[in-house]
Every structure is written in structure tokens, then in C-alpha cells.
Amino acid sequence: MKTGRIGKLIFILLFPLICSGCSSSPQDIQAVIENYYTTNDKNNKGQLHILNVYEKDHRTYVLAEKYRGDGHLPIDLFIIDEGEAVFVSSGDSVMSPCFSLYEVTLDGKTIVYGDYKDTKWVASSDQVIDVNLKGIEISFQDNTVLRENFTQKNSFLFVIDTETEISDAKVYDEAGIVSTLSDLR
């Protein structure tokens, strides 16, 4: 997967945005993200949900959801860079029966993020079953493998210091693999 044209366009348009007085406090992050939606998204509806906040190299990476009225709830990635600039992207998404996975390449880094559910759709029986996912393992084309145990956040976020592409992803519970990215291909 590669960063889509829309993600690149959004980056080019929003990178110069200045967030006066931004810092990494939860209230400031919430205010900056809410201001983005209010100012830039005419379909701005519903309540803002901050899913995950991760700090690395003087940047704050924020995952957020906000309903846009189209039946869709994509995860948006915002980057607050030293309180100065905001980058936003919905990335390239892959949806599985119980998790979503997004990938963005920026400034020589690969950013991978997504969310997971407590149910899984089983195509063969057209049923939805309960799952209790415990973590995710993501393999990349450069042979890097990242594994994260899930927490209460229902989302995950990795920032990798090289440009690489996802080759597979697996979510698992206590008994083993529940779903993979390969299942969708």
C-alpha cells in the first residue's frame, strides 16, 4: 500500500497550517483537532473521539474519529509538530472483518495505524461472532515485524523510522490468529 493521492494533497494543503499555542495537553489536542474539523470539513457532524496519542521526535501523532454523516467513520491521523503544524490524512485503508489498517509514508517514516472491534463477520456463514482480540502483528516488506498487545484504547499506532510497506497483518486472541490481512487478498 502506498500513500494515496488524496492523502498527499491533504498534506500539501494542510502542512503550512499554524496552530497558535498548541501543546501536547489533552485539552489542547482536542481543541486543535476540533478546530480542524470545524474549519475544514463541511460535513462536520457528531462528537469528536480522540482514539490514541503518541509522541515521538518532537511530534504528537493523534488518531481521531468524527462522524461525517455518510455512514462511514474513518480514522484520521493528525500530526502536531512542535506545536506549530498540523498534518491530516485518512491514509490508505484496508478493512478486515474485525480490524482496520491504515498506512502513510511521511518524511522518511512509515506510519501505520488502525482500530479493532469486539466482533468479527464470518463470510462463510454470514454471521457476526464475538471476539476478544489481544493484539496485532504487522509484517513489512523489509522484514521488520512489529507486535503490540492491545489496551483499552481499541486503536493502535506505529511510527517506523524507515519507508516500507505492509506485507501482512494478523490480529490474535488468547487461542491464536483470528483474522489476517491476507484473508482479504
**pTM metric for this prediction:** 0.77
Residues 93-109 have a mean pLDDT of 84
Residues 66-79 have a mean pLDDT of 78
pLDDT digits 0-9 by tens, 36-46: 888 887 777 77
Note whether 53 and 66 are within 8 A (CB). no
pLDDT digits 0-9 by tens, 152-181: 778 999 999 999 999 999 999 999 999 998
Domain boundaries in the chain? Answer: 5-184
